[in-house]
Amino acid sequence: MERRRFITDLGQTTAAICSIGFLAACSKSGDNPTPDPGPGGGGPGGGGARLTANLSSELTAIGSSKTSGNVIVIRTGAGNVASSFSALSLICTHEQCTIAYDAAASDFKCPCHGSEFSVTGSVNQGPASAPLTKYTVTINGNTLTVN
């Protein structure tokens, strides 16, 4: 085999392999609204609580947030009642990338494919079609718990 032919074949083979890997990484495997919470329910200590907060010192302002693992809780209203908080998964339902909370815009953005979600978890912009997973917020005294 002559050198020119060898280099051409090698280049084409390399390009084909890279293309397959790129397409596989960007392929849509389906919207998955239920991320794996991990061992113990995904919360600290494995007791089923995904996140806890002391409302005397944390989450005091509307728009403030606290994150634990892949769970975030955001204060969306006044008063220490469950309806004043939104607890969501930080895993995008499109391709399971970790999303980021933008407090200034009061929404979430996925860095992988551009999906955007509201603080209630609903889809503002695709390609994601399923909302973020919501978690239950309970309040006992000044302790907020996300289950």
What are 131-146's pLDDT values in tens digits? 999 999 999 999 999 9
User: Which of 5-19, 49-63, 69-83 has the weakest average pLDDT?
Assistant: 5-19
User: Which of 5-9, 40-44, 78-82 has the weakest average pLDDT?
Assistant: 40-44
Instruction: Give the C-alpha separation, 70 to 93, whole Å.
Output: 13
Mean pLDDT score of the chain: 77
pTM to 2 decimal places: 0.65
Confidence band of 2 (pLDDT split at 50, 70, 90): confident
The answer for residues whose C-beta is within 8 angstroms of residue 123's C-beta and 6 or more apart is 115, 116, 117, 129, 130, 131
pLDDT at 12: 67
Confidence band of 104 (pLDDT split at 50, 70, 90): confident
Over 80: is that where the pLDDT of 72 sits? Answer: yes
Residue that wins the pLDDT comparison between 1 and 25: 1
pLDDT at 114: 85
pLDDT at 42: 43
Confidence band of 117 (pLDDT split at 50, 70, 90): very high
pLDDT at 73: 92
